[in-house]
Amino acid sequence: MAAKKKRTRKTKDDFTKTDWINWLWPVFSKYIRTRDCIRTTGSPLCGRCVTCGKKYPLGKLQAGHFIPGRTDAILFDVRQVHAQCYRCNMKLQGMWHKYFLFMLDEGHTHEDIMAMIEESEDKVEFSREWFEQSMEYYLTETKNMVEEPPDAEL
């Protein structure tokens, strides 16, 4: 019998682009879902799907992309990622027609949306520093949203 290969844990120095994306995505997703929960219900614990409007607990919401494909240019674009339920995001392929109406209701113009679609094809280079700074930013912002009531004044 062949000996089992011992798995060594990767360090950040060994991370590939995919490793960095997988490292940041859960934190970015929680930031988006928390932001939208507070925006739609006033609570960081539950929110409404932007496409069907149904209320779900934070853990049942996903960070759904307005423009499908999860390309580098849109993957972490806060303008184009919002809380969606699993059904709308996955089963119904994002409910693009309702997401489009949501984006218009949010104040995006047709020109803004066309620019987002064009930008979605752009080549984006991420650096280790960008990933690390983004991680710190989204962790801090999520913590601040949860700790501060939405109506808190400074």
| Full domain range(s) for residue 39 | 21-131
Query: Would you say residue 148 lies in a domain?
Result: no
Query: Would you say residue 53 lies in a domain?
Result: yes
Place of tokens 């949501």: 102
Query: Would you say residue 3 lies in a domain?
Result: no
Query: Would you say residue 7 lies in a domain?
Result: no
Q: For 98-116, what is each residue's pLDDT tens digit?
A: 999 999 999 999 999 999 9
What's the predicted TM-score (pTM) here? 0.87
Averaged pLDDT score across all residues of the chain: 91
Query: Would you say residue 137 lies in a domain?
Result: no
- DSSP code for 38: H
Backbone phi and psi for residue 45, each to the nearest 5 degrees, phi listed first = -95, -20
Lowest mean pLDDT among 54-58, 66-70, 118-122: 66-70
Query: Would you say residue 26 lies in a domain?
Result: yes
**For the chain, what is the domain count?**
1
